[in-house]
Every structure is written in C-alpha cells, then in structure tokens.
C-alpha cells in the first residue's frame, strides 16, 4: 500500500505552469527496502579504507562536471533556475566532492590528546551508520553534495528524500552515484511521504537526519529527531543583513548587493534580504537598485519555483505597501499559471509589516535607512534568524567592528558572502544548527570516539 500524504512528486514547469511528469510516492515496502539496503551497505562501506572511498567520491565529482549541461536543463524545467546558474551549481558540486575526496583523510585522521596520567589517547572520527537527508528544491544538486560528500567519505550511507518538486534532479543524482561506483545501498533515493519521513527518523537503523528547508519543517524534524534520540543538522531560513556604512563608490556596492539578492531569483537562504544603509548614501543606493530593476526587460527574468511561491511573495509585498512601504520598481505578479514575479525594490518597511519579520524568498531588495553604526547593528540583529550577514565600509576596521557583533553563523566584511568548498556554512537562532562544508562538514555525523592505550 502506498502512503501519499503531502504533495505529489511532480515536475511542474514554473515558466509555464504545465505539469510535465508525475512520479509515484514510495510504498512502505520501498521505504523498508531502502533502509535495509543502506544498513547492509554500511556494514561493508565503513570498512573500506578512506582513501579508497575517496577514489569513488572523485568519480562522483567528475560525473557532476561531465553532466553539468544535462543537470542544468533538468533544474531549469523543474524549478526555473537559469541554465547558466545550473551549470555553475553542478560545477560547484564537482568542487565539493573533490574537496572531501582530497582532504577527507586528513580531516578524519585521529587527533592526539595530551594526557597527564601516562598512556596514549586519541580521538577517532568514525562513521555512525545510515543517515537520512531531507533536501530542498532551490539548489537541487548543491544541497545534496554538501551533505553526501563528507558522509560518504566518512563511511556513512545515505537515504535521500528530495523536495517533491524536483524528482528528476533527485533521480539524476542517484544515477551519478550508481555510475561512479558508489556501492548499492550506500546512496538510495526515496520519494517518501510525510508519514514515511517520520517512520524513517524513528527507525533504529537510521542514525541521524539532516534537513535543509523551512523553519516550520525544521521544527518538525528536530522534534522527531529528539523524540527518537537522533542527531540532527538543520539548515533553515535566513534574513541576512547587508550593512553599508559608507562607500567611495556606492553604485558599485549597490550593484554587488543587487546581483547577490537576485541570484537564483532571490531564492537562497543566505541571500541579503535586508539591506541596511547609512542615511548619507541611502538615496544613491536606492536609486541605483531602482535603476537596475527598471532596466530589466519584461520576460527576461527567471520565474520563481512555483506559482504558490510567487503568490506568497506578492502578498508579503502587498501587505507592506498597504501599510506604508514604498515599492520603487517591479513587484508585478504575472497573471498565471506561470510563476513570474518581476524583481522589486522595497523601502520603508516597519515592524507592523509581514516583510519586517518574515523571510522574503524571492527577488525583492528591501532597503532600510539608518543614522549610526549602533542603529545599523541593532537593526541587523533584530531578527529571529541568524544565518549570515555582511558589513561594507571603506574603513575595514569600522566594518569589522560591526561584523564581529553580528548574531549569525557566517559574518563577512566587504563581501556579500565568504563562499567556497572550504568555508563552513550554517547559522544560529532560528536559522538552525550544525555546519556543512569545510573542515566542520565532516564533524557532524561522526562518532568522536576516545581511544586510550595505557602504558
């Protein structure tokens, strides 16, 4: 019997609203088969020397590069990502798998402990077993890569539940794993229902769960993980501040702010969703953003991931405007059934508006005016989220002073975001907990076993 609670696994082209293909949700027997296969694979995969696991992981990396165009086309149809950005995403996946293949043996090496009572002590980094990954649609390949790469290197096995709207992306990654020689069961894709996710988390054979998604989904998964005494990592929403204290070239800084905000149609967790600008450069900053928004030709911008997402964003902006905010440009929702929403510039947002506290997951640049560094910092930290943040100034020391006080997991000075395979990614507060990528990416789902040998 198939359990079907929740949305169907379905490809709906957001550029047209057309239903392209529908996939069956997994049966309960399919879920049992996946867990059994992952458990059996773990028994042998964990004993393969890490350097040999690295050779398989390097083959995964090479296939992401070789199939970049194919993957980009899939993402374009499933969630609207521009093809060029899809190719970049696939190439970043190659870099992630290569990084962990190359650096993994060093990152997972035993760590000696200085002892004071004789003997020899080390901390070993050992795998823990099958893991469940629950991934989002906005970066359908990258999100998998940053979870799967370090854990495959460690010797864990992966059960992957992707977003219902990107089933072809999910299957394409599963095929890459198979073609690269990842052992059967070591990476398994499941089109699981909501109830089946609960079953998976509760299964004693599954040792941990990682979710990248909404704050609401994170709360549910964390509750289930806690109830079942499972380790979990949560990468949730964000409302990252982009603070501009001063600039000798405000057009350049505004351009960087605009480009970062519009990447992936504004659908990135760590996008600069709140631009906080000092009053003496505020007007020029807003003018530059507005000029860029007005210069966009109708029909030349990517759709959001779904009609529902576009309608929700439009309602958030309408709420702000109805309560006194200023819409300088854009903000036009298409008639449907497609998911286009024109890139917008919004200012004058106050606490009475949804846009002040809620995450705007789409192409809307929200700009706030402040009169002092202290006011800028206070506004930057006045959010339930704590993913990332950036501070810009021609005086690096001034920017660093503010950035050091940001209540975030990733603070940046004079760049929108420090990004790379070696840079840890994660947040605090209601943006979740745990880290992915970089050295910390191999430090989550691991048994940090103390090993002591007496003299």
CA distance 175 to 141: 12
The active-site residue, picked from 78, 235, 288, 359, is: 235
Report phi then psi at 21, rounded to 5. -160, 145
Buried b (16+ CB within 10 A) or exposed e, 395-421: eeebbebbbebbbbbbbbbbebbeeeb
CA distance 417 to 427: 13
Look up residue 432 and give its DSSP letter: E
Whole-model pTM over 0.85: yes
- Indicate the angle between helix axes 83-107 and 142-154, nearest 10 degrees: 20
The active-site residue, picked from 77, 269, 288, 444, is: 269
Q: Kindly tell me the burial class for residue 427, based on how many C-beta atoms sit within 10 Å of its own C-beta (0-12, 13-18, 19 or more).
A: buried
Q: Measure Cα distances from 43 to 53, 130, 148, 185, 345 in Å.
A: 14, 10, 18, 11, 54
- Taking alpha carbons only, the member of 351, 356, 327, 353 closest to residue 341 is 327
Active site residue 374: no
338 with 303: CB under 8 angstroms?
A: yes
Residue 233 CB neighbour total at 10 angstroms: 24
Active site residue 232: no
CA distance 359 to 239: 6
108 with 50: CB under 8 angstroms?
A: yes
**Each residue's pLDDT expressed in tens, for the chain with a length of 455 residues:** 344 566 799 999 999 999 999 999 999 999 999 999 999 999 999 999 999 999 999 999 999 999 999 999 999 999 999 999 999 999 999 999 999 999 999 999 999 999 998 899 999 999 999 999 999 999 999 999 999 999 999 999 999 999 999 999 999 999 999 999 999 999 999 999 999 999 999 999 999 999 999 999 999 999 999 999 999 999 999 999 999 999 999 999 999 999 999 999 999 999 999 999 999 999 999 999 999 999 999 889 999 999 999 999 999 999 999 999 999 999 999 999 999 999 999 999 999 999 999 999 999 999 999 999 999 999 999 999 999 999 999 999 999 999 999 999 999 999 999 999 999 999 999 999 999 999 999 999 999 999 999 99
Q: Which two tokens stand for residue 26?
A: 């997994």
């Amino acid at each position: 019997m198939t359990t079907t609670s929740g949305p169907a696994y379905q490809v709906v082209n957001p550029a047209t609203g057309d239903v392209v293909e529908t996939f069956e949700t997994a049966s309960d027997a399919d879920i049992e088969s996946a867990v059994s296969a992952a458990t059996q694979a773990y028994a042998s995969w964990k004993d393969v020397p890490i350097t040999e696991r690295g050779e398989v992981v390097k083959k995964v990396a090479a296939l992401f590069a070789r199939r970049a165009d194919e993957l980009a086309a899939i993402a374009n149809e499933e969630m609207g990502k521009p093809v060029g950005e899809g190719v970049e995403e696939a190439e970043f996946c190659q870099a992630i798998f290569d990084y962990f293949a190359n650096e993994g043996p060093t990152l997972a090496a035993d760590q000696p402990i200085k002892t004071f009572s004789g003997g020899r002590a080390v901390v070993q980094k050992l795998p823990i077993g099958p893991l469940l990954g629950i991934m989002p649609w906005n970066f359908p390949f990258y999100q998998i890569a940053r979870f799967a790469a370090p854990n495959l290197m460690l010797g864990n096995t992966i059960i992957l539940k992707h977003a219902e709207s990107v089933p072809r992306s999910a299957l394409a990654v599963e095929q890459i794993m198979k073609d690269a020689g990842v052992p059967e069961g070591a990476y398994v894709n499941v089109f699981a229902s909501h109830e089946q996710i609960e079953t998976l988390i509760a299964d004693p054979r599954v040792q941990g769960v990682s979710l990248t998604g909404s704050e609401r989904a994170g709360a549910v998964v964390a509750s289930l993980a806690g109830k079942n005494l499972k380790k979990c990592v949560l990468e949730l929403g964000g409302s990252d501040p982009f603070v501009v204290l001063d600039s000798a070239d405000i057009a350049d800084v505004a351009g960087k702010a605009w480009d970062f905000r519009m990447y992936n149609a504004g659908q990135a967790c760590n996008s600069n969703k709140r631009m906080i600008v000092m009053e003496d450069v505020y007007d020029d900053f807003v003018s530059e953003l507005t000029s860029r928004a007005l210069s966009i030709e109708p029909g030349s911008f990517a759709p959001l991931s779904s009609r529902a997402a576009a309608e929700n964003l439009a309602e958030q902006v309408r709420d702000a405007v109805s309560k006194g905010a200023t819409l300088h440009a854009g903000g036009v929702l298409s008639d449907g059934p497609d998911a286009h929403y024109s890139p917008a510039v919004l200012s004058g947002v106050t606490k009475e508006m949804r846009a002040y506290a809620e995450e705007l997951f789409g192409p809307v640049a929200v700009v706030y005016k402040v009169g002092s560094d202290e006011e800028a910092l206070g506004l930057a930290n006045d959010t339930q989220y704590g993913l990332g943040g950036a501070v810009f100034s021609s005086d690096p020391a001034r920017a660093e002073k503010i950035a050091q006080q940001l209540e975030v997991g990733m603070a940046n000075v004079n760049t929108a975001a420090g990004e790379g395979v070696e840079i840890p990614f994660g947040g605090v507060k209601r943006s979740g907990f745990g880290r992915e990528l970089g050295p910390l990416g191999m430090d989550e789902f691991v048994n940090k076993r103390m090993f002591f040998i007496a003299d």
